[in-house]
Amino acid sequence: TVDPLSACSGELKLAFSAAFSQNGAFGPFDTEVTLKFSEIFSNIGTAYNPSTGIFTAPVRGTYYFRLTVLELRANHTVGVYLYHNSDLILGAFQHSDGLHESTSNAAVLQLEQGDEVFMNLGTGFSLYNDGNNYCTFSGFLLFSM
């Protein structure tokens, strides 16, 4: 049998997890806005750029991405999109009646070296954040190809 830890020891280690650091209400806006998650929990391999909000794949491989966002203001809807380069992959939406309403989603994507993945706040949507890190974006390399 092969020890999975030793089999992976030569593999690139790549993972990030970050929170949206702007506190209070954010949005709505008249256009989509790329979200910049600048409160870094981890950024192993430094493929996520907190200044731009963009993850850039350093190698061809299969990656996992997860997002979570929140809105608590009455009559506001949080709505975000996950993009792979210019292609819309998925969305996550939740209307708030003044309660802490959150939504999340995830995807496994095959990326080429240099491909970009990022999250946009949709046109007309908003989110809310405070020091409790309600809004997060994470990803990691499952395996290179």
Contact 67, 78 (CB under 8 A): no
Per-residue pLDDT band for 6 (boundaries 50, 70, 90) equals very low
The answer to the question of residue 69 being in a domain is: yes
Can you say how many angstroms the Cα of residue 88 is from the centroid of all Cα atoms in its chain?
Answer: 13
pLDDT per residue over 99-118, tens digit each? 888 889 999 999 999 999 99
The answer to the question of residue 7 being in a domain is: no
The answer to the question of residue 117 being in a domain is: yes
Proportion of the chain above pLDDT 70, given as a percent: 93
pTM of the predicted protein model = 0.89
What's the CATH code of the domain at 124?
A: 2.60.120.40
The lowest-confidence range among 4-8, 42-46, 103-107, 108-112 is 4-8
Total domains present in the chain: 1
Q: What pLDDT score does 10 carry?
A: 62
Q: Outline where 42-117 has alpha helix (H).
A: none
- Count the neighbouring beta carbons within 10 Å of the beta carbon of residue 6: 8
Contact 65, 106 (CB under 8 A): yes
Q: What residue numbers bound the domain in which 88 lies?
A: 16-144
